[in-house]
Copies of this chain bind each other. A is one copy, B any other.
Amino acid sequence: MASDVTFDFERQQRIGLSEAVFCEGKSPAQIGEIIGLSRARATPLLLTRLTSDALAALAADDQAALDYDPRSRTAILGPWLAPDGEPLVAVVTAGTSDLPVAREAIRTLAFYDVAAREIADVGVAGLWRILAQEEALRRHPVVIVVAGMEGALFSVVAGMVGGLVVAVPTSTGYGVARGGRTALHAALASCAPGLVTVNIDNGYGAACAAIRALSLHARPGAKAPRG
């Protein structure tokens, strides 16, 4: 029987983003096969939604080759260096429960050598918190906003700054907020113009959108991500 995997190694060249491995629902053997293919080609690889248990089920030398971050549940197969430039992206969260998703975005950006600034726990119930960050936010060409519950922070930020604002609704919450539909719909129905959104809990996707946008000025002349 044929291999389970038809990896899209051409993706990096085609669209500037390499195929990442979404680990939920994949067996250790399947994850291991992809790591093996990447190691054989010496190609960097990003793994997302990799729990500690799933990591521990990999072969020891695969584990050793990975840079693992438990808070974001991401792993990076190098060679890879953390970015050290000015942060081009601000990653804002409404509450502390939104942090794992925000960290997934930050790690994805770092994989592509884009530095980010984290601004945590500034939900609108205490509006002074986000107002205090207005000037800081305006210095970043892309702002990623991570929020669950009613997602009011998306509109407030998009009404403040002129850069690209990407909403990441999170599944944080209970009752009508459970699962993230309320926050997602808040992003889509926002009264602030030009706000865009990605799927619930998709910090990875928001970071990829930022990469796409940040490459714009390069057409012609943009710098390619290092990743």
* Chain A residues near B (Cβ < 8 Å): 1-8, 10-12, 14-20, 24-26, 30, 83, 85-86, 88, 94-97, 99, 111-114, 118-129, 139, 141-142, 149-152, 154-156, 158-166, 169, 171-202, 204-205, 207-219, 221-227
Closest 8 CB pairs of A and B: A217-B217, A194-B208, A112-B227, A175-B200, A113-B226, A8-B126, A152-B152, A25-B97
Verify A172–B25 contact, CB threshold 8 A: yes
Residue with the highest number of chain B CB atoms closer than 10 Å, among A8, A19, A20, A25: A25
Q: Which of B6, B99, B205 contacts A121 (CB 8 A)?
A: B6
Q: How far is the CA of A184 from the CA of B185 in the complex (A)?
A: 11
Verify B223–A124 contact, CB threshold 8 A: no
For this chain, the copies found in one complex come to 8
Q: Which of B14, B120, B158 contacts A4 (CB 8 A)?
A: B120
Verify B193–A20 contact, CB threshold 8 A: yes
Q: How far is the CA of A119 from the CA of B4 in the complex (A)?
A: 9
User: A2-B119, A2-B120 known; 20 other A-B pairs, CB under 8 Å?
Assistant: A3-B120, A15-B193, A19-B125, A19-B126, A111-B227, A125-B158, A142-B216, A149-B189, A152-B154, A162-B212, A163-B212, A175-B202, A176-B181, A182-B189, A185-B185, A188-B198, A196-B197, A214-B223, A217-B222, A218-B224
A193 closest partner in B (C-beta) = B208
